[in-house]
Amino acid sequence: MDGKEPFIPSFRKIFLRALACAKEYLCGIRFGSFAAKEQTQIPYWRKTAHQFFKFGVVGVVGFIVDTAMLYFGINALGLGRIAAGMFSFPFSVTSTWIGNRLYTFRDAPPMPPAKQLAKFAFVCAIGIVFNRGTYSLLVSTIPFVYDYPVIGLLGGTAAGMFFNFFASRKHVFGA
């Protein structure tokens, strides 16, 4: 060998490039070229895909909040797995509502925050059937998931994501 180490890109660089490619595909724009692009009508499917991508980004933050509060409920409050999952849910709902209001659907028609939060909580209360139903089923039936409840939380989040996106988009944010 000539003394040079082979080029191995870091996980961070790969992840950031993947995000840039996804955003370019979904939005039809490149990073850094916002000012140069003329604002044109975005096709419905592309706008929906872009909002879904942003909804997913906000969902990651909500998942982190949900996970932190789940383990707080289990470890600090001594709650069982299912009770801790129910305890953590309102914290996740509130954090994702804030993120969706300020980021995902920031161009939505204005609505008083308390009314919008109530509508979002109602949609999420229906979505809890998918979300916490899947979580409860997984932690109750699979010993590995019982030992690592975050896996059940991830499964529940995925199950509720599609319902919550389309219901929130239509009934909460009017986008």
pLDDT tens-digit readout, 19-59: 565 556 555 544 444 444 445 666 878 888 999 999 999 99
Q: Quick one: angle between helices 11-27 and 44-75, nearest 10?
A: 140
Instruction: State pTM to two decimals.
Output: 0.67
pLDDT tens-digit readout, 93-142: 999 999 999 999 988 898 999 999 999 999 998 988 988 889 899 999 99
Residue 40, classed as helix, strand or coil, is coil
More confident residue, 81 or 13: 81
pLDDT for residue 31: 46
pLDDT for residue 68: 95
pLDDT bin (cut points 50, 70, 90) of residue 174 is: confident
The two tokens of residue 163 are 């319902």
